[in-house]
Amino acid sequence: MWFKHGKKGKEKSSLTPPAGMTAADIATQSSICTGETMIGFLDSKTGRLLQAVVVRNDTDIAAFYQAYGYELPCRN
């Protein structure tokens, strides 16, 4: 069995957001045709998602935030 040795505390995020983007810029978009949902960093100038990935459920969304070292915002 393989274990990670020498790592203590929280692991650092392995992905870097696009320049100038923060957790506030993360958005989801759904396709009208296929219903496919994407999450990524919304470029306010072009309206396009940067570094977008397909998500299927809330767990995938939480994993996206965690991959960039952000906390998932609370939903009310």
Residue 69 to residue 71: CA distance in whole angstroms: 7
Q: What local confidence, expressed as pLDDT, does residue 13 receive?
A: 56
pLDDT 10s digits, 29-75: 999 999 999 999 999 999 999 999 999 999 999 999 999 999 998 87
Structure confidence at residue 12 (pLDDT): 59
pLDDT at 75: 72
Residue 2 has pLDDT above 50, yes or no: no
AA identity, residue 50:
L
- Domain ranges across the chain: 23-67
**C-alpha dihedral, 74 to 22 to 53 to 44, nearest 10°:** 110
Q: Full-prediction pTM beyond 0.85?
A: no
d(CA 55, CA 62): 10
The DSSP H or E segment spanning 29 is strand 26-30
Q: Is the pLDDT of residue 23 over 60?
A: yes
